[in-house]
Amino acid sequence: MEVCYQLPVLPLDRPVPKHVLSRRGAISFSSSSSLFGAPDPRQLSQRRGAISYDSSDQTALYIRMLGDVRVRRQVGFEPEPRSSQPYLCIDFRTLHTCLGTLSGSAHSAPERRVHRLLSFQRYLHSSRLPQQIPLHLLDEDYTGQAKCMLDKVGSWNFDIFLFDKLTNGNSLITLTFHLLNQYGLVELFQLDMVKLWRFLVMVQEDYHGHNPYHNGVHAADVTQAMYCYMREPALSKYLTSCDLLIGLLAAVTHDLGHPGVNQPFLIKTDHYLATLYKNTSVLENHHWKSAVGLLRETELFSHLPPEDSLNMERQLGSLILATDISRQNEYLSRFRTHLDQEDLCLSHAHHRHFILQMALKCADICNPCRPWELSKQWSEKVTEEFFHQGDIEKKHNLEVSPLCDRDTNTVGNIQIDFMSYVVEPLFSEWARFSDTRLSQTMLGHLGLNKASWGSLKQEQQQQASGKEEPAEPGPSGAGARQAGTPGRAPSDPHVIATATGESSPKDVPQGNGES
């Protein structure tokens, strides 16, 4: 026998889930069973699966028979790595290319096989929950440490990397379930647990885990930040249950299916997404439509009136589209005008929705406002994703996008400029709207992190030059010569705009450079 998947530890006095026992060829036996010493164990090898119950260790394991093999009674082996099956290794980013080559027939055999594999993958990942499971059992399956972390999910120091490890890479599913339950949204909207589970599993699987930054952990981090913002007194007392549900779902799906490259890359490579969305908010439209597709595929809102379901989809899209960095100046100017005129009335639905848009924008780029230990990890991950795109552009003889050349840019340079021209202006205005301890904490971390990157940058310059004294500050220093394009300092907002998907340098707000 060979282990293909390890179920959670189950005491023998707990009923075995029906979805396990109903598997094709499932059988049960104990460690003392005569089957272990049966003269003809080949009868077992013809079955597709089995359940082994060992009374000595009180565990239940799902095992797979592979030919004429001996039954293994040991436990403690490592489960098979996720997505190791051959039919789970489909690259969704290049799938359209594969299908595009099948122009001979609209329903050719290779194309049908690809679609069958995709359908089977979806079924495999979305059918691991029993058809009937009480709501409270979800919390019982959490490990002790992960459950303790969830008790402090509203803390700004929440370590999403540690939480992802404790949940075995399921941080997005676990966190979202917890928050929906905490707000009572599952019961309030009468969401079917099986459909909700399938939806979240599909969402997590559609985030490309090989992306250094835009993956499921980033989505979980944004969701946790969104939860913190929705708890702010200036906003929480006005939010309706629908606002809470849409706000959380938007955070969960805001980067769904991100390919790991920015919009300019998709446009200059004539990617089908750029053509489909006419070079306008390409990634954001893709995230929104992917989320709507999963909602409809799982029929999560099928029990609601059609007009309510469509309205939720539209509000979800409005929130996700607001994360387009090319519209940063548009939203920030409108936000600043409302604050200057003091005309925000959150009892009005459209004003509440606008504040949710600003909250999601803040959550999406809040990494520089986290504690240094967390912020540094995110900075390195997003920069590595930039550099990976630059490597692809070099490999295919394309013009390397600004800030994507690992030979002429550093993490510190990129982060300092991003903090100065994108993050500081946005969070300064958010602090005007919600002048709380959280807002001041975020601005404090932002200033400290910016200073830390400046110190690291200075140390790197000293090591490169071999001198003891610090490098001369100002645009004539060594750091200013490291730019994505010749003759342009990295602090030029146009460089930041192009690297993050901006369409024009005027769309990037000018920061005051202060913390």
353 is catalytic: no
The tokens describing 316, both together, are: 């979800």
As a whole number of angstroms, the longest Cα–Cα distance in the chain is: 86
| d(C-alpha 485, C-alpha 494), whole Å | 10
| d(C-alpha 454, C-alpha 448), whole Å | 10
- CB of 492 within 8 A of CB of 420? no
Q: How many CB atoms lie within 10 A of CB 384?
A: 15
The tokens describing 462, both together, are: 């000293």
| d(C-alpha 172, C-alpha 178), whole Å | 10
The tokens describing 85, both together, are: 């099956």
| d(C-alpha 297, C-alpha 482), whole Å | 47
State CA 146 to chain mean position distance.
18
Residue whose entry in the numeric block shows the structure tokens 């994507």: 404
Catalytic one among 214, 218, 254, 271? Answer: 214
How deeply is 364 buried, as exposed, middle or buried, from its count of CB atoms within 10 A (0-12, 13-18, 19+)? Answer: buried
Per DSSP bridges, beta strands 50-54 and 59-64 are antiparallel
Q: Which residue, among 168, 180, 162, 161, has the nearest Cα to 142 in the 3D structure? A: 168
51: which strand partners? 28, 62
Q: At what angle do helices 241-253 and 306-321 cross, to 10 degrees?
A: 50
Cα angle, residue 192 at apex, residues 191 and 198 outer, rounded to 5°: 110
Task: Give the residue numbers marked as catalytic.
Answer: 214
